[in-house]
Amino acid sequence: MIDLHSHTNESDGTFTPGELVDLAMERGVEALAISDHDTFAGFDQALPLAQSRGLELVCGIELSTRVPGTRVRTVHLLGYFLHQPPAAEFRKWLDELIEGRRDRNQRLITSLRERGVDIDLREVEKLGRTLTGRPHFARVLIQKGYVSSFDEAFRNYLGESAPSYVERFAPYVVEAIQRVVDAGGLPVLAHPIRLGFRDYDAEEKFIGELRDAGLRGIEVFHSDHRPADMARYAGIASKYNLAVSGGSDFHGEVKPQISLGTGYNGNLNIPKSVLEGLRAVQG
């Protein structure tokens, strides 16, 4: 069993890189990808630990991107670096994305304060390490009693439909795909279910367009996917000649219902051949 989608506390997970390596060993995960949002800091720290413990660790990244002129609000793109470490230029670009978060976070604080939420950026940043994201804001809103759950934090304050919502800079998906490729990585569509299509023909067409833009793989196995979704995405992968990928999207305590390796209610058991398949398409 392998898991190619996980987050450490360097982005919005709660496990340190070392704790995540330990957990993977404990749970019998044979290969683990750390795919933090916008940073390799978690992977970099975990690598020597994984090597000393004999865990195969895959370098990954997850990027939030946008698609102008469509109803899709955001596309999460995974990049896997299977044969070589990411190019230095790409790391510099990630620093710019993190800078864009800082700017958004300041505007979000202003917006929340205007709505009577007594919150300070420093207390949110205390929870984050390399970067501070909305999940960190959610934790502060819960701690301070403004909401009682993550869902409520996003519904009332942080989500796209909340009045206090503010946008952050996000690259176009086409640019992000190209940047991953240029950096020596394999671009893979994360959790396609979250694109939010109800019309499956439109969904398939959209994924076909990403494929034309250079997408090479699709996350067929994911905690949010029901068996019927997995079957549908496997069909799309085969039709468009996209590599199949999969992972739990483990975030630790902030998403306690999701287990490393086995996903949501044990809905995942991803064979090692999936990783070999990704390696093969990248050649």
Positions touching Zn ion (CB under 5 A) are 62, 249
> In sequence order, what are the beta bridge partners of 56?
31
Tokens of 137: 């804001």
Footprint on residues 71-90 left by ligand AMP (CB under 6 A): none
Among the candidate windows 78-86, 130-138, 232-240, 268-276, which touches ligand AMP by CB under 6 A? 130-138
Closest-CB residue for Fe ion? 76
Quick one: 10 or 249, whose CB is closer to Zn ion? 249
Strands 243-247 and 2-3: unpaired
DSSP one-letter code for 158? I
Contact predicate 259/248, CB 8 Å: yes
Q: Would you count residue 159 as binding ligand AMP (CB under 6 A)?
A: yes
Q: Would you count residue 267 as binding ligand AMP (CB under 6 A)?
A: no
Q: Is 82 helix (H, G, I), strand (E, B) or coil?
A: coil
Which amino acid, one-letter code, is at 138? Answer: A
Please work out the total of residues on this chain that contact ligand AMP, with binding judged by CB under 6 A: 11
Q: Would you count residue 5 as binding Fe ion (CB under 5 A)?
A: no
How much helix, strand and coil, in percent to the nearest 5, is found in the chain?
Answer: 45, 15, 40
Q: Who's near 111: CB < 8 A, 6+ residues apart?
A: 164, 165, 166
Quick one: 36 or 238, whose CB is closer to Fe ion? 36
Residue appearing with tokens 């176009």: 172
Closest-CB residue for ligand AMP? 133
* Element holding 60 (H helix, E strand): strand 56-65
Contact predicate 169/103, CB 8 Å: yes
Quick one: 76 or 101, whose CB is closer to Fe ion? 76
Among the candidate windows 147-155, 213-221, 224-232, 266-274, which touches ligand AMP by CB under 6 A? 147-155
Q: Would you count residue 38 as binding Fe ion (CB under 5 A)?
A: no
CA–CA dist 54, 12 (Å, integer): 26
Q: Would you count residue 10 as binding Fe ion (CB under 5 A)?
A: no
Q: Which of 3, 12, 36, 219 binds ligand AMP (CB under 6 A)?
A: 12
Binding mask 54-73 for ligand AMP (x = CB under 6 A): ----------x---------
Among the candidate windows 43-51, 117-125, 131-139, 230-238, which touches ligand AMP by CB under 6 A? 131-139
CA–CA dist 207, 200 (Å, integer): 10
Quick one: 12 or 38, whose CB is closer to Fe ion? 12
Q: Would you count residue 179 as binding Fe ion (CB under 5 A)?
A: no
Q: Would you count residue 133 as binding ligand AMP (CB under 6 A)?
A: yes
Instruction: Considering only the C-alpha atoms of the chain, give the largest distance between any 2 of them, rounded to a whole number of Å.
Output: 54
Quick one: 150 or 197, whose CB is closer to ligand AMP? 150
CA–CA dist 207, 232 (Å, integer): 12
> In sequence order, what are the beta bridge partners of 244?
218
Q: Which of 76, 101, 216, 232 binds Fe ion (CB under 5 A)?
A: 76
Residues that bind ligand AMP (CB under 6 A): 12, 37, 64, 133-135, 150-151, 154, 159, 168
Residues that bind Fe ion (CB under 5 A): 12, 76, 190
